[in-house]
Structures are given as C-alpha cells and as structure tokens.
Structure 1
C-alpha cells in the first residue's frame, strides 16, 4: 500500500507530466544556469585573462598579478530551502507551508530528472533539518517524507530569517549551487544582508508564499486572531473601517519593506498565493525568469 509521501509524489509527478512536458523539462538549464564553477589552480595573469578572475590576496602577497582558474562542473546541485516557521501554517488550501512543500517537491523532481543532485534545508528557528543532496526519485521521496512530518519546534518567537540564510550559506559553501528559497518573509528585519551573501556565491531563486487574507482582511465580524509567531491573541472587529484602514496601512508598509529588502539583496522575488494553480504559477515563474536573462 502506498504511503502518504508516495501518493503525494505520484500525484505531483502525474501533474508534471501532463502540464509541463514539452514546456519546462530541461528549461531549468537555460533559465537557471546552475552549473557549478569550482576553483582548481592559480597562474600568472596575462593580457587575455578576465580581470574579474584576479586573486587580489595572492597578488598583494607576491606583488605580481595572479588569476584563479576554474573548471565547470556539469552536474547541477540544487538545494530546496524552506521556511517552516509558525506563520507558514496560516492560510487557506492547507496553508502556505503546504503550498511551499508541493512547490519544492515539484521543483526537486523536475531538476532530479536530469540526473542532478537535490538536497533540502528545512528551517524553523531552533529546529533545522539538513538533507544532503543526492540523485534519483528516492531522494525526492525522502524529502517528501520530511516535509509531511509536522515541524518539531514549539518555540513562540519571531522567525530569524538571517539565521536561515546563514545556515544555507554554511551548508552549501563547498560548491556553487542552484538554491530555491521558499518563505513568507514574515520575521525579524535585517535578513537582506545574509540573502545578498548567499546570492553572491550561488544562483538563488526566491519564492515568496503569501495568503490573500494577509493582504486584504476579509470582513468576518468579531473574531479572535492570534499571532502565529508569538502566540499573542486579540479580539478584533474585522468590519471596523478604522481597523481595516490601519491594517491596510500596515500591510502596505510590510510589502514595501520586503520589496526594499529584496532590492538590497539584488533579488527579484516570485510571489505565489495559496489560491493559485500551483503548476500554472510554476510555469509562469520559469517563463519570467527566462525573459529576465535575455
């Protein structure tokens, strides 16, 4: 009998085959470069060399310009970095966490079809799981099982996204990789510096998962709301025009702050909502990435 992870993976594979064959397969090679560039040696600089490859530390020590030599690694290493904090469990259609998980599994399966290695980093403040990259369908099934397990952290604290990006940087430092980051970016401010450092070394695709209710609070009358990150509860009248105006202004400030953080990090984030057709959103994301590289 199939387990829940096997059923989910088979369902997503079926959708991938029906919806994406001939439209995306192999496209990640041209849309997201992904090929690793590994340092191999040093030699004296010549006029034909790219000045961007000069090793300034060595040059300063020997008082003669040296360049770094690289070899291109044709094997793609892909990492799926998922924010599994409490705020990701909010939303319709089983929540943002479920949408991020299905998206991660689809991306992982798509990349793994080319014989490439896929790993995962699951982050929830004081609880992290690192799944080393491997090839094959069994690896995607292993990641699927981990994503279907409830997060172990019960900490009531705001998500430290900077810590998540530092973990990703330290885990992936040995080779250049293609990294997909999936988060709602609800957390402590100041994450843009660590994200920028990650993008300096790797090719990073940021996918921001949001729920429509976070952008426009529906009029549900008087309800009890809870901060998913801290556990703070408050009784509010969602039909109060003054409250709705304040919330709209706060949402605007938060959206502006996230957009500014992405700009500082040098990243064009893709936004996916919980009410979207997941695979249609995936196709659109790849198409937008492809146009951006021309």
Structure 2
C-alpha cells in the first residue's frame, strides 16, 4: 500500500516528490523516441504511428498489394515498383532499471541515489503519459524489486514505492551483493524483445564483461544509459580538508595534493570517454545527469517540446 504522508529525509527518495513529477513528465512529449542529438548519442528505430503497424522491409510490388504502400522513392531509383511491408505492431514495453547500490549513496548537494530515484520516477510517469507499459527492476544492496510491465498508475506507484524503500535501506550500509554484470544479466532475463530500456546508474563498475552483456541487450532492445554523477566525482573541491561521512562514520578528505587532483580528474575523464565510446559503438543513448542540476531540465533537453520541433 502506498503511503503518501511522510517526514521527508533528504537522504531518502521521497514518495511525495516522486509522485509530483507526474505533471512535469507530461512535458516530455518526444518520449521515448525523440532524443536530442546533443544529449543522447546513437540512433534508434522509431515506431510507425497511425497504422498500428511496424515497417519491416520493401519488396517488389505484387498484384493485389495496396497501392498506398508503394515506396515511390525506391521505385524511382530502381525503375521497378516496390511496396512497403508492415507487420502488426507489437506492444513495446518501457523498462526502467535503477541502480541503488552502495556507490549511489554519495553526494555533495544531493545524493546520487535520490537523483537516480527521481529520474526513474519521471521516466515511469512519462511512459504512462505516452501510453506505454511500464515495468522494470530496482537493484538494492542485497535485494531486487521486479515490476512487470503494465499500463497502469498502480505499476508506476509500485515502482516508486520500491525506489523509496531501497533508497532508505542505503542508510544502513552493507556490502553489495550485485555487480553491474549481475544487473545486466538479470535485465536480460527480464526484458522482452523490442522493448525500450533505460538503465539509471553511475556505471562506476561497468567493464569489458559488462560490455559483452550490453551487446546482447542492444540486439533486441533500444537502450539508454542515464548516467548519474556528482560534481565532486568530476573534480575534487578546492584544496583543503573536508569532513565526509557515510551516515555512520566520519573521516577527513585532504584535497591539497596537485598530483592527487590531476590523477582524480584523469580517472573520471577516462571513465566518461569509455562510456561514450561504448554508447557510440553499440548505438546506446547516453544521458549524463549532474546531481546538482534539475532532473526535468536534463530530461527536457532530451525529450522535451523543442526536440520534436527540431525533427
């Protein structure tokens, strides 16, 4: 049962805040098929709307074919009459895979786990608004929550409840049971062919084995990475001593060393370049979300009204 009255803790993804994203998500009018080029890399097959059919191929025109399906461009180029072949449109579920493991419990202004939960909730509401079936998996430190794809408010609310529960469990640090490979393997078992898939994570442990698993996923689904990061992961704060805590223990972070600062930034940049290379090679959409930014502003840049106007 969904509880909407709660005492908001900034370390936990608020149910009320995630429910409020429903109205803003309606502005993502290009969702999920019109990503902005400057934000999302890769290209994706779009649905043929208005016919309830998916385009499959062209072939030579045969007696009895509907003349409205003649492909005039191919016909003119080949000097033979070709017709477009459509297959009945299959339902294409939209799945949101959210990583709420221990590395997501980090943030200088807002926790990555909270930002990731809000992004996931916004994507879920956008799916419902575009009349898609919404489902997905939330990965915690030790458990997962699987939500079967359904076109209903209940499905979105169930997902939001799982995001709230799993983000709260991060207040009690445990050793992660799941790796990125586990996440991708479980997703592969869960996903149906021809789905649209959003993976929300920091992708810090994405490696070569993860790449091979992702390769299998993109063969049958349209995949987007929503990479959540904190500004401090990109560059250390100004030289000095800073108190840091995981909620239970405190320590001092010394950011004075020039070599340390340069190495830190280089490691971050190499990781980002690696993910960009993977996304381009496998035609995976890559959306980078700075925790200090408004998540709807970032998603609006990818799927908002101006994107449809540019098409």
The TM-score bracket by the shorter chain reads: 0.7 to 0.9
Q: 2:137, 2:306 → 1: CA distance?
A: 23
Query: Counterpart of 1:40?
Result: none
- Aligned residues of 1:223 and 1:236 also touching (Cα < 8 A): yes
Q: Deviations over 1:58-104 (max 9, x none)?
A: xxxxxxxxxxx95322x441100111111111113431111111111
Query: Counterpart of 2:11?
Result: none
Structure 1 unaligned spans of 5+: 37-45, 50-68
Q: 2:185, 2:138 → 1: CA distance?
A: 13
Q: What is the aligned counterpart of 1:198 among 182, 203, 217?
A: 217
Query: Counterpart of 1:222?
Result: 241
> What TM-score do you get using the length of structure 1 for normalisation?
0.73
Structure 2 unaligned spans of 5+: 7-13, 35-43, 49-57, 62-85
Deviates more, 1:197-206 or 1:8-17: 8-17
Equivalent residues, number: 254
5 Å-filtered alignment, 1:15-164, equals 15-16=24-25, 20=27, 24-25=28-29, 27-28=30-31, 30-31=33-34, 48=60, 70-73=87-90, 75-124=91-140, 126-150=142-166, 155-157=174-176, 160-164=179-183
In the TM superposition, residue 222 of structure 1 has moved relative to its aligned partner by 2.7
> What TM-score do you get using the length of structure 2 for normalisation?
0.69
**Relative contact order, higher structure (CA 8 A, sep 6+):** 2
Deviates more, 1:280-289 or 1:213-222: 280-289
- Aligned residues of 1:161 and 1:188 also touching (Cα < 8 A): yes
Q: 1:200, 1:266 → 2: CA distance?
A: 10
